[in-house]
Structure 1
Amino acid sequence: MEKLSRRQAEILQWLHRYVQEHDAPPTRVELMQAFAFQSPNAAESHLRTLERKGYLQLQRGRARGIRLTEALPQDGLPLVGRVAAGQPILSEAHLEAYLPAADRLFPEADFLLRVQGMSMRDAGILDGDLLAVQRCAEVHNGQIAVVRLEDEVTVKRWQREGERLWLLPENPDFAPIQVDLGRQALSVEGVVVGLIRRGGKL
């Protein structure tokens, strides 16, 4: 099958999630609203392109006449869940999708994580952004790290002094998280090496 553009891949991923969550495909209007298209015709155009490339079949005359025919493409970087950029939330370890071409944008990255929350706003990391993350065993002070703290995952700026670690937000509305490494279980998932926002790479 033909490869997908980033926008086509985003739409296909959204369609798969919608079907999983609602046990039915969306209408053209719901697709239009989800991606802020100007009209249902724009949504229909994207659906026809996905049909031509073999990822779905359209059933004419039916409001929800979309049948997904292929699994999500497995090229690019895997999107493996969400990271809280506020208070930590339980990591969603299941694979959501693969983002085509992301591995070429960020060749050093191993996976993508979706941000939830605004605690890293002043570092340019906003709710809904995709973070490109490189797996590593060591983090240097000042780096933005993705860490697992007692089975929860968060993204913060790393500041360590001996056994004391501060996970620092980049938003004055949020308090730092202080970690006693001698008492609390913490593991490093990786460091942030890039960011993708809908509409372009930052």
Structure 2
Amino acid sequence: MVTNSSERLTFFIPEAIEGASVPIFDAGISAGFPSPAEDFNEQHLSLDEELVKNKETTFYARVSGQSMIGAGLDDNDLLVIDRSLEPENNKIAVCFLDGEFTVKRLRVSDGEVWLQPENPNYPIINITEDNNFLIWGIVTNVIKKV
């Protein structure tokens, strides 16, 4: 685990939950009027199959910090990170910056790279040649507790 003042990411290897499946009721949960319970058809769902496209390059990380709350990343959310995806402008990325991990939105323009927090209380980080910088992976999904 590597920490900094704005985030703490704890990484998990997908194999730790590989093969785990949970029941899913495939009836479409109504956000309007309730449907009768007998309409539910129980099946099993593998979260790996739903959330992981590239098993060898996908990791999970739990985040704490407030810098990305505007993007829906809250304390204790579990991020699904794919290291095989190409970084692109506006993607949310886990980056290694000057010896620490951070998660931010990528901003790329005119050959420059910025790490954009999604909270106005945190500064935008301009990446320069002086930084030790690596885009570690792209966030593909977020698992939340409600």
* TM-score normalised by length of structure 2: 0.66
Determine the structure 2 residue equivalent to 1:49: none
**Residue correspondences, number:** 116
1:145/1:94 CA distance change after superposition, 3 Å: closer
Alignment correspondent of 2:99: 151
Larger Rg: 1
Structure that is richer in strand per residue:
2
Partner of 1:127: 75
Match of 2:48 in 1: 103
Give me the whole-angstrom Cα distance separating, in 1, the residues matched to 2:63 and 2:11.
14
Does residue 193 (structure 1) correspond to residue 121 (structure 2)? The answer is: no
Summarize deviations over 1:109-145 as a string: whole Å, max 9, x none.
5111001111111111101000011113631100001
Partner of residue 179 from structure 1, selected from 127, 130, 141:
127
CA contact 1:146–1:153 (8 Å) conserved in 2:
yes
Query: Following the alignment from structure 2 to structure 1, what is the Cα–Cα distance between the partners of residues 12 and 50?
Result: 23
* CA RMSD after TM alignment: 2.8
Structure 1 Cα separation of the partners of residues 2 and 61 of structure 2: 5
Following superposition of structure 1 onto structure 2, how do residues 1-202 of structure 1 map, counting pairs within 5 Å?
87=6, 98-99=16-17, 100=20, 101-108=46-53, 110-136=58-84, 138-180=86-128, 182-199=129-146
> Following the alignment from structure 1 to structure 2, what is the Cα–Cα distance between the partners of residues 108 and 146?
17
Relative contact order: is structure 1 or structure 2 higher (C-alpha 8 Å, sep ≥ 6)? 2
- Unaligned runs of at least 5 residues, structure 2: 21-45
* Distance across 1 between alignment mates of 2:96 and 2:53: 21
Q: 1:186 deviation in Å? A: 0.9
Would you tell me which structure has more helix in proportion to its own residues? 1
Listed as ranges, the gaps of 5+ residues in structure 1 are 1-80
Contact 1:150–1:185 (Cα < 8 Å) also in 2? yes
The one-letter code matched in structure 2 to 1:173 is: N
Look up the SS of the partner of 1:98 in the other structure.
helix
Query: Could you tell me whether the CA contact under 8 Å between 2:78 and 2:144 is conserved in 1?
Result: yes
Per the normalisation by structure 1, the TM-score is 0.49
1:172-195: per-residue Cα shift (whole Å, max 9, x none)? 111111110x22111111101001
| Structure 1 pair 136–150 and aligned structure 2 pair: CA distance change class (3 A) | farther
Counterparts of 2:7 and 2:111, CA distance in 1: 21
Q: Percent identical across equivalent pairs?
A: 30
Deviations 1:41-74 (A, max 9, x none): xxxxxxxxxxxxxxxxxxxxxxxxxxxxxxxxxx
Deviation at 1:150, TM superposition (A): 1.8
**Structure 1 residues 142 and 177, CA gap change in structure 2 (3 angstroms):** same
